[in-house]
Structure 1
Amino acid sequence: MSRERAQALLIDLDGVLRRWDPAPMIAVEVEYGLKPAALLETAMSWDIYRPAVAGEISDAEWMRLVADRLPLEEAKAAEAVARWQSYRGEADPEALAFVREVRAGGRKVGIATNATDRLRPDLDSLGLTAEVDVVISSWELKVHKPAPEFFTEACRLIETKPEHVLFVDDDDRVVRGARAAGLSAYRWTGPHHVELLKKALGLPE
């Protein structure tokens, strides 16, 4: 998996270090008579999602665009989106334990994620800000994964050469992009491969 021991870890947020309970989101859709996953699917529409994570529009502007597309009258749509957004997920305890082990082993750890300008407040509320050495946000860089420039800048910010960085993400397309940029990369499907990742970082199993 790695040509040589990695000296730093870059880890994705959503789907890795942050997990989402679908129940609160489904409850909002039920309450407002929306079809299942309507809010998420609308928010992830590429024409409005891409500018939100590329630093072209704010999170608030993105959510206004989501509300505009819902089959609800204006006030109800805005209310539904606000209710949906009030749940911010939770830190995944097993992924966080892995991050702590990596840092305890003397390796730098950075969160490297596609995000909006709401990222840093979210990390504060999740208690994750102090758990990593650096936060790398697509919104701040104005370029999103899997663009090569994202990985180049991420390695610069964690002060480690690409060939010495292990990148962990739940999106296979991003993993392929990281590898193309010269990083070692692994697709996260859960904590069952933590021992393998620790080995790639030269940490004791």
Structure 2
Amino acid sequence: MTSAPADRAFDAVLCDLDNVIRFYDTAPLAALERAAGLPEGTTADIGYAPETDLPLLLGRITPDAWVESIAAGLTERVGAERAHELGRALEDAPFRADEEVVALLRRARTHVPLVLVTNATLRLDADLALLGLTDLADAVVSSAVEQVAKPDPAIYRIAAERAGVPVERCLFVDDRQENVDAAAALGMTNALYREPDDLRRALGPCAEEAVVAHEP
């Protein structure tokens, strides 16, 4: 790591995973919804409703139990078999990493510690391995492991502690306004993510390629 410039507002980067680094392909699920006569997004609306989603993100239920909860919310509309098919399609949606974002974060990590802080399931380690990102960050703070989820201030404090810097010296990046607002309330520098340029601007010089000094 390089020493911190006097004008840099942060000494660590805390970054969300989903919809910043990882993106899901919802096209297969959307096709199933159309075939079932449902508006696109219906399954996700049920699956990501707090009463359905939060127990999963806090590690209190398994992904299979989450699928059952989704199916229960759809059965009256499409029947049990199709409801389970839709729930499983949401759980098994394929995903990819945004390589531009990954490259920016790898550059930032040559300057400051990087911690992933994410509302995730107990499958997070396996998912990071599938993405080839097990070495991306210095630490990973998962809601399912810590049993506390964003925007609870506790998870931000845990992430700052893992980074080894005070909370007010962290840059927090997330795609959800309520999560960014919670970070700001703790005194963190923050960035609401919509596209890679948002991250690049927030990182500033930390987004630049590291310069390697060579001996003459």
Partner in structure 2 of residue 184 of structure 1: 189
Number of residue equivalences = 202
Q: Please report how far the alpha carbon of residue 203 of structure 1 lies from its aligned counterpart in structure 2 after TM superposition.
A: 5.8
Aligned pair in 2 of structure 1 residues 204, 41: CA closer, same or farther (>3 Å)? same
Partner in structure 2 of residue 159 of structure 1: 164
What residue ranges of structure 2 are gaps of 5+ in the alignment?
1-6, 211-216
Partner in structure 1 of residue 101 of structure 2: 95
> Which one is further off, 195-204 or 170-179?
195-204
Q: Please show how residues 15-164 of structure 1 align to structure 2 within 5 Å.
A: 15-70=19-74, 71-103=77-109, 105-164=110-169
Aligned pair in 2 of structure 1 residues 202, 132: CA closer, same or farther (>3 Å)? closer
* SS of 1:13 mapped into structure 2: coil
Task: Give distance in 1, aligned partners of 2:167 and 2:133.
Answer: 24
Q: Please report how far the alpha carbon of residue 93 of structure 1 lies from its aligned counterpart in structure 2 after TM superposition.
A: 1.6
Counterpart code for 1:77? A
Q: Deviations over 1:45-78 (max 9, x none)?
A: 2211122212222222112100111123323322
Task: Give distance in 2, aligned partners of 1:159 and 1:98.
Answer: 21
Aligned pair in 2 of structure 1 residues 66, 30: CA closer, same or farther (>3 Å)? same
What residue ranges of structure 1 are gaps of 5+ in the alignment?
none
Task: Give distance in 2, aligned partners of 1:122 and 1:41.
Answer: 22
> Which one is further off, 20-29 or 155-164?
20-29
TM-score (norm 1): 0.88
Is the Cα–Cα contact under 8 Å of residues 168 and 186 in structure 2 kept in the other structure? no
Q: Deviations over 1:156-175 (max 9, x none)?
A: 12222112211100111110
Q: Please report how far the alpha carbon of residue 9 of structure 1 lies from its aligned counterpart in structure 2 after TM superposition.
A: 0.8
Aligned pair in 2 of structure 1 residues 18, 202: CA closer, same or farther (>3 Å)? closer
Counterpart code for 2:24? W
Is the Cα–Cα contact under 8 Å of residues 23 and 95 in structure 2 kept in the other structure? yes
> Which one is further off, 193-202 or 106-115?
193-202
Counterpart code for 1:102? A
Task: Give distance in 2, aligned partners of 1:81 and 1:12.
Answer: 24
- Using CA pairs below 8 Å that are at least 6 residues apart, which structure has the higher relative contact order? 1
Task: Give distance in 2, aligned partners of 1:162 and 1:130.
Answer: 23
TM-score (norm 2): 0.84
> Which one is further off, 172-181 or 45-54?
45-54
RMSD across aligned positions (CA)? 2.1
Q: Please show how residues 188-199 of structure 1 align to structure 2 within 5 Å.
A: 188-199=193-204
